[in-house]
Amino acid sequence: MKSKTDEELMELIVQNHRQALEELYDRYVKLIYSFSLKISKGNTDKTKEIVQLVFLRLWTTKSTYNPAKGQFVNWLLTITRNIAIDLIRKEQKHKGTIPFELDEMQQIQDQQLEDVLQQVSRNLVKQQIQEAKRHLSEPQQRLINLLYWEGYSLSEIAELEKKPLGTIKSRLHQTLKKLRNYFSKETGGARHGK
Amino acid sequence: MENKCENLSLYIIDELTAREKEQYERHLRMCAHCQHELESLQETWQSLFYEIEEVDVPETLKAEVMDFIFEKNEPVQREHKVETTKKSLIERFKFIFKKQFSPLSTGVAAVLIIGLAGLYWHNLHLKDTITALENEAVGPVQIVSTYALKGQGLAASANGNAYLLQEGSDISLVIELNNMPGTKDKEVYQVWLLKNGTRQNAGTLKPDQNGNGLITYRLPPAHSFDDIGITLEPNPNNTQPQGVKVMGTF
């Protein structure tokens, strides 16, 4: 199992190989767990629920991954975010209130040796994002946080910001472009227009 | 930049409706600008994920996740078990049966039991048919869709509505018209259902003195149409329109 690619593992999952699912778990749980913990603001029960739902989705809706449409990891992370946002939105509806605290989690963890390389490159990406985000204006930063991490829809954000939806839409476009440009600057322009 | 290009970022964050998404994807195939932008912006959006602190996963989580997934399959296994105990029950029953009855009485009893089972099955079947009939009789009428009709030309002031009603498996079209100009002699208003350029006659009507008219038409099974047109015909019962169109869906 260890030598198989993610795509091969997905094919085995289609044939009901539990071991393949366990291998994918071992490979990606740290990412999924960390993401879920952040998006649920450190709530470990909710984090567990999200992780369970993500792997259940992998096990039950097997055929939806299409290698032609992009990397496996991006597909997996998109699923994770969708599940997490669904859960969060459901709860917001229940409570009727809007939690506004961002980025509360500050936990420094020790790392396993074999993960170090991967982690270094992820940390680089993280630094890049944080660096790029610093160049955004205050409203642009708020937009990304509400949209990406808090799971608000654009029209909800328009309401919160008391701005027309069209303004928020173009703000999003500008923000994504600005982030992209800072990314590409830091990676020597290699990504731009790829 | 063409108007549709604005939807690029909405497409990336997956906030388009299914229909808008389809339209945008069609646009994307033709638009070099969007194609050029899509990949790098999508990558940017996806990389926001990595703004996380990586934390250690509790060791017990794996067992909990796997239990959560594979417990769902357990009822199937349990059913298997129930089946096997069932089987052994039947075998035990057979054994007792053999001990108690001679072959002849077993045969007679078997015939009786089969007969009884047959009657019971027949009875059940009958019951089903009766409930089905009852259900059909009281099946609710549902409006499947509605159309607004607007007059033109001779009947510019006219307006109306059409409803598709479903009752069980029957579909009827009900058309209600107002402010229709009166008709002379044999003149009638004739309703046509249009589908891919072919017209089907759906009946004729004459409005009352106040210009109101109502017509119902039962659609043939599996019949569909795109639009409704109404013409003023010199004679009733035309199979193709001779007169001018005076009303239609818009």
Per residue in A39-80, pLDDT (tens digit) is: 998 899 999 999 999 999 999 876 567 777 778 888 898 899
Please report, for chain B, the start and end positions of each structural domain, with discontinuous segments joined by +: 3-50, 56-98, 101-138, 142-249
Mean pLDDT over B94-115 rounds to: 75
Give the contacts of B63 (CB within 8 A, at least 6 positions apart). none
Query: Cβ of A37 and B10 within 8 Å?
Result: no
Domain A1-101: which CATH number of 1.10.1740.10, 3.30.70.100, 3.40.718.10, 1.10.1530.10: 1.10.1740.10
According to DSSP, the β-strands at B213-218 and B198-205 are unpaired
Give the contacts of B61 (CB within 8 A, at least 6 positions apart). A29, A33, A48, A51
Most confident of B5-19, B148-162, B198-212: B5-19
Percent of chain B exceeding pLDDT 70 equals 84
ipTM value for the complex = 0.76
Residue type, A158: A
Q: Considering all CA atoms of chain B, what is the largest pairwise distance in Å, rounded to the nearest integer?
A: 93
- Separation between Cα atoms, residue B180 and residue B205, nearest integer Å: 11
Task: State yes or no: pLDDT of B201 exceeds 50.
Answer: yes
Please report, for chain A, the start and end positions of each structural domain, with discontinuous segments joined by +: 1-101, 109-189
Percent of chain A exceeding pLDDT 70 equals 77
Query: Cβ of A183 and B46 within 8 Å?
Result: no
The CATH topology of domain A109-189 is Arc Repressor Mutant, subunit A (1.10.10)
Contact pairs from chain A to chain B, CB under 8 Å: 120
Instruction: Outline where chain B has alpha helix (H).
Output: 8-12, 18-30, 32-47, 61-70, 74-100, 103-138
Residue B9 or residue A100, greater confidence: B9
Q: How far is CA B230 from the centre of its chain?
A: 28
| B50-71 per-position pLDDT tens digit | 888 888 999 999 999 999 988 8
- Answer whether B25 touches A (CB < 8 Å): no
Q: What is the pLDDT of residue A175?
A: 94
Q: Which positions 72-111 of A are in contact with B (Cβ < 8 Å)?
A: 74, 77-78, 81-82, 105-111
Task: State yes or no: pLDDT of A98 exceeds 60.
Answer: no
Q: What is the pLDDT of residue B105?
A: 78
Mean pLDDT over B123-138 rounds to: 75
- Separation between Cα atoms, residue B13 and residue A153, nearest integer Å: 10
Which range, of A170-184, B20-34, B219-233, averages the lowest pLDDT? B219-233
- Separation between Cα atoms, residue A181 and residue A178, nearest integer Å: 5
Residue type, A180: R
How far is the CA of A34 from the CAs of A24, A56, B52, in angstroms? Answer: 16, 18, 7
Task: State yes or no: pLDDT of B80 exceeds 60.
Answer: no
If you search the block for the tokens 């731009």, which residue do you land on? A192
How far is the CA of B60 from the CAs of A21, A22, A29, B65, in angstroms? Answer: 17, 14, 12, 9
Q: Identify the band that residue B78 occupies on the pLDDT scale cut at 50, 70 and 90.
A: very low
Which range, of A8-12, A63-67, A113-117, A160-164, averages the lowest pLDDT? A113-117
CATH number of B142-249: 2.60.40.200
Give the contacts of B198 (CB within 8 A, at least 6 positions apart). none
Query: Cβ of A30 and B70 within 8 Å?
Result: no
